[in-house]
Amino acid sequence: MTIDPWADVRNPAYGAVGNGSTDDTAAIQAAINAIQSAGAGAVFVPNGNYYVPGGLRITGNGVRFINAGGFFQTGNTDVPIFSISAAYCTLENVAALGAGIQPGGVSPTQPVVSLTNCLSCLLDNCNISGGAIGVDISGGADNHLRDLTSVSIYGPHVRTRNTNAFLSRCKLDQSFLAPVPLGTVLSDLTRDTFYPKYSVVSYAGYVLQCQTAGRTLAGTGPTLQNYNVPIPDNTAVWQLINPYGACALAIDVGTSALTCSGCDFSGLYEFCVIIRNSVPGPAPTALAFTDCDFGNAWQGGIYAYDGAGLNVKGSLFSNFYAPWGMGVYLTNNWQGDTTIADNLMFGCAYGVQISAGTNTVVKGNQIAGCSQTAVGVANASQFVISDNCLGSSATWGRNAHAVLINGTCDHYNVVHNIIAGASSGVTDSGGGTHTQVNWNN
């Protein structure tokens, strides 16, 4: 029987300590290098707190990084904890805290985990926090994030810029941790210290960001305020930002054939999912979400700006707090080829808003309690709105408009919908041709 090569980072040959203060970067990297030199194998990490301010790099194929109770952190060194550029590698049970969350933290620019041009790599049952991005996937193909938990991320929890990525049962959830204990004096913040704008510090599980650069009080700390309320501290001004992040998932330039199944994207500050190019290049395409949870965000569930090809099925959209909060928003830059089917939406201003594109199907959804419109369309063509239940909610009330069509629209059908309790049923001001509206609505 052949046994794959195995390297224990606490083996004296490598010498990792795991006490939270000794720099274990070189020791763990030596264990990784040994497995890479062997061609493939496993790196084993026993229980411990591993301080790795230099970051760890996996560049050889077939490395299986098995964590058995270890915790990885960089202090406030702004580097990826794991940088992987290889094929068929695995991170298992890894718990990693990136820069920007510890007291006196920096404003991070780097992800916690970076996958660059990787092929068929797997992150399995990992717990990620801190960093500018939780997991950044750039280039490569066929990578999989499974049972990933991510909280308290400065920017997107996951950013994709590759092909054939899979996210399954991931919990990219910035839900509220606890009620804010208003009136608490933030005595643990460093006193009489200058903080630059956007510095991030933590206090009792909450994350504060410096909104105005300045020097903190020399004596007593400031008093904690609620989310989005300024906290003056001498010339510095703080704001409570935990549990907010930019978004759960940023689908960026070059992403294609992305599949998300059974994921929790709830509780983020902006939209739960943002589909938009950050730089010029191929727009995202062929994106699928099944049985996912989008909720408790400020602006909405899915914001589709650049690209085409979106399939959203069997998912929950709920409780968006902005007066314009939307379940799914297809902006005036979106190209189309979209199916939104068999979803449940409530507590939104707009359930589905289609502002452009062709070949859009909204079918079999239950959409209730929208303060503005359950399904709105403007300046789109070749769309179908059918077999939806556009009713009222005991909690959120009735839809103001069940279906509202305006702008320049063409070639569309609005048929077989159940409309109950809406202030206005179907309003068609699209002015298009080849339309069929109000057949058995």
pLDDT, one tens digit per residue, over 93-146 is 999 988 866 555 556 789 999 999 999 999 999 989 888 899 999 999 999 999
Distance of CA 344 to the CA centre of its chain: 20
Amino acid type, 439: W
415-437: average pLDDT: 78
Q: pLDDT: is 282 or 241 the higher one? A: 282
- pLDDT-derived band at 243 (thresholds 50, 70, 90) equals very low
Q: What residue has token string 């935990």?
A: 242
Instruction: Find which of 37-41, 95-99, 190-194, 212-216 is predicted with most confidence, using mean pLDDT.
Output: 37-41
- Residue 35: its H or E element: helix 25-38
Contact status, residue 82 vs residue 58, Cβ threshold 8 Å: yes
Amino acid type, 301: G
Beta bridge pairs of residue 209: 200, 239
Tokens, residue 216: 């903190």
Residues in CB range of 12: below 8 A, 6 or more apart: none
Amino acid type, 157: H
State the Rg of the chain over Cα. Answer: 24
CA dist., res. 281 & res. 252, Å (int):
9
CA distances from 336 to 99, 305, 395, 426, 437 (A): 38, 10, 33, 22, 21
CA dist., res. 235 & res. 215, Å (int):
5
CA dist., res. 56 & res. 15, Å (int):
15
Contact status, residue 249 vs residue 272, Cβ threshold 8 Å: yes
Q: Beta strand pairing status for 82-84 and 127-129?
A: unpaired
- What percentage of the chain reaches a pLDDT higher than 70? 85
Q: Which residues of 194-205 are buried (b: 16+ CB within 10 A; e: fewer)?
A: ebeeebbbbbee
Residues in CB range of 417: below 8 A, 6 or more apart: 385, 386, 387, 388, 389, 390, 402, 403, 426, 441
What pTM was computed for the model?
0.84
CA dist., res. 79 & res. 169, Å (int):
27
Tokens, residue 34: 């040994």
Distance of CA 257 to the CA centre of its chain: 18
Q: What residue has token string 């270890």?
A: 70
Q: pLDDT: is 256 or 246 the higher one? A: 256
Q: What residue has token string 């996937």?
A: 137
